[in-house]
Structure 1
Amino acid sequence: MSEMKRYSEWLGRFVYALISLSLAGISIAMMGAALWDIWGSFHDKTLLVKALLDAIGLIVIGMAVFDVSKFLLEEEVIRSSSTRSPAKQRATLLKFLVIIAIAVSLEALVFIFDAGKKDVADLVYPTLLLASAVLVVVGLGVYQRLTRDERE
């Protein structure tokens, strides 16, 4: 392997590691901010339910971002993408999209509960968000069915 190719691989892994650690830090900060808001609502005797719903949204997004960060670290820094079989690459893609589908679904549920308490007319957009998450899951099922290996 040439020196330039090794340098390029090292640089790529370094960049992915930096991005992954940055995303992890951001996600932890989001979850910390959610907990801080809950603490503040207890202390100030403000609307606790509103703070809890907001915190659920932040924590769900923070967890999704942390999962993406972990995914990038595992797949791009620790493992070499050139040595994986197509089945492992397919499984990696499915894992990534499942993380996104779960995050979108949970966020849609939080929006539905929040909008349901305010005005029923506001339920249209969260319901469409939930429907899009369902379509992602259905699409993943179709993709998995169409790309399955006959030996499996």
Structure 2
Amino acid sequence: MNKAKNISDLIGRAVYGLISLSLGIISLTMMGVALWDIWLSVHERTLLVAALLNAIGLIVIGMAVFDVSKFLLEEEVFSSSATKSPEKQRQALLKFLVIIAIAVSLESLVFMFDAGSQDITMLIYPTFLLISAVLLVVGLGVYQRLTRDEGK
């Protein structure tokens, strides 16, 4: 039974490692594409502001994907499943949700600038995205308040 658990753990770590590596490559590719688009916009003298806004969006998403990749690598590949206390699991969940909240917040701001410069009637969608980011942060605060250790 113990040997089967070790094999299962090894397979799980390999799969999470492959997923993490794939996400890291995808995120770096997104950031490279963003920089390439800026380069082309500067040298072809096209709309630089539009290219910069698109690049910000790609880089923010790439950063979030890279953070998720790093999180998976640290939590699922390098850490031992035997040492995961409830407190460590709580911290890992909070770290992951903070990454998502930051990415959603930044992306909503990029969408707001883009919509505000093109069509003011389109501001409703990024506004709802920003509201969802705020609700996520509030939810994180409530979660931390409800799960904190009273002995500390």
Q: What range describes the TM-score normalised by the shorter chain of this pair? A: over 0.9
Using the TM superposition, give the Cα deviation of residue 2 of structure 1 relative to its aligned residue in structure 2, in angstroms: 2.2
Q: Tell me which amino acid in the other structure corresponds to 1:36.
A: W
| Regions of 4+ moved over 2 Å | none
Distance in 2 (CA, whole Å) between partners of 1:104 and 1:66 is 14
1:115 is paired with a residue whose SS is helix
Using the TM superposition, give the Cα deviation of residue 19 of structure 1 relative to its aligned residue in structure 2, in angstroms: 0.3
Distance in 1 (CA, whole Å) between partners of 2:81 and 2:3 is 19
Using the TM superposition, give the Cα deviation of residue 71 of structure 1 relative to its aligned residue in structure 2, in angstroms: 0.1
Q: Tell me which amino acid in the other structure corresponds to 2:41.
A: S
Q: Tell me which amino acid in the other structure corresponds to 2:124.
A: V
User: 5 Å matches for 1:5-24?
Assistant: 5-24=5-24
The match for 2:144 is 144
Using the TM superposition, give the Cα deviation of residue 3 of structure 1 relative to its aligned residue in structure 2, in angstroms: 1.7
CA RMSD of aligned residues (A): 0.8
1:46 is paired with a residue whose SS is coil
User: 5 Å matches for 1:106-145?
Assistant: 106-145=106-145
Question: Structure 1, residues 101-127: CA drift from partner, whole Å, max 9, x if none?
Answer: 000000000000000001110000000
Q: Tell me which amino acid in the other structure corresponds to 1:93.
A: L
Using the TM superposition, give the Cα deviation of residue 85 of structure 1 relative to its aligned residue in structure 2, in angstroms: 1.4
User: 5 Å matches for 1:3-152?
Assistant: 3-152=3-152
Question: Structure 1, residues 59-99: CA drift from partner, whole Å, max 9, x if none?
Answer: 00000000000000000000023322111111110000000
* TM-score after normalising by structure 1: 0.98
Structure 2 unaligned regions, length at least 5: none
Distance in 2 (CA, whole Å) between partners of 1:99 and 1:81 is 22
Distance in 2 (CA, whole Å) between partners of 1:22 and 1:5 is 25
Aligned pairs, number: 152
1:151 is paired with a residue whose SS is coil
Q: Tell me which amino acid in the other structure corresponds to 2:47.
A: L
